[in-house]
Amino acid sequence: MSIFSKIKDAIFGNKAEARPNTPSAPPPSVGRAPSASAGPATAQPKPAPAAPQPVDVEAVLKKMAADNKQQLNWQTSIVDLMKLVGMDSSLENRKELARELGYTADQSDSAAMNIWLHKRVMKELAAHGGKVPANMLD
């Protein structure tokens, strides 16, 4: 699993677990006439699943921060954001995240890379259905 996916899953939760397994419809009877005891067909159309609501990234992270003993500046720091979601924020992991997200500048300039990473992670969260405040996307 990619580092970004781990961040996204920590914030969004595992959406796949929330979806119920819906059984598929039984195959139609072939070559048999309907039985006399069977009533008229009352096919009820299934309602379309509701569109997923965007995840309020800021609200989720604020709740996580309130439950965390450390004072973390997750709003601007990729290191603190990663710590908040329970991830290893080591330079190696941040470099890997930078590679995943397409960072092409010098990775030895960790300050510039960290700023870019935070903004890019927020943009990616928004692109994956997150509601992210505009000031975190600039």
Q: What is the residue-wise DSSP string for the chain?
A: --HHHHHHHHHH--HHHHSPPPPPPPPPP-S-PPPTTS----PPPPPPPPPPPPEEHHHHHHHHHHT-SS---TTT-HHHHHHHTT----HHHHHHHHHHHT--S-TT-HHHHHHHHHHHHHHHHHHTTEE--GGGT-
Find out whether 88 and 82 touch, Cβ atoms under 8 Å: yes
| pLDDT, position 138 | 79
Residue 44 lies in a domain: no
| pLDDT, position 129 | 93
For 81-134, how does the pLDDT look when each residue is reduced to its tens digit (9 = 90+)? 999 999 999 999 999 999 999 999 999 999 999 999 999 999 999 999 999 999
Residue 38 lies in a domain: no
Residue 78 lies in a domain: yes
How many of the other CB atoms lie within 10 Å of CB of 8? 22
- Model confidence pTM above 0.85: no
Residue 76 lies in a domain: yes
Reported as a pLDDT band with limits 50, 70 and 90, residue 78 is very high
| pLDDT, position 40 | 56
Residue 42 lies in a domain: no
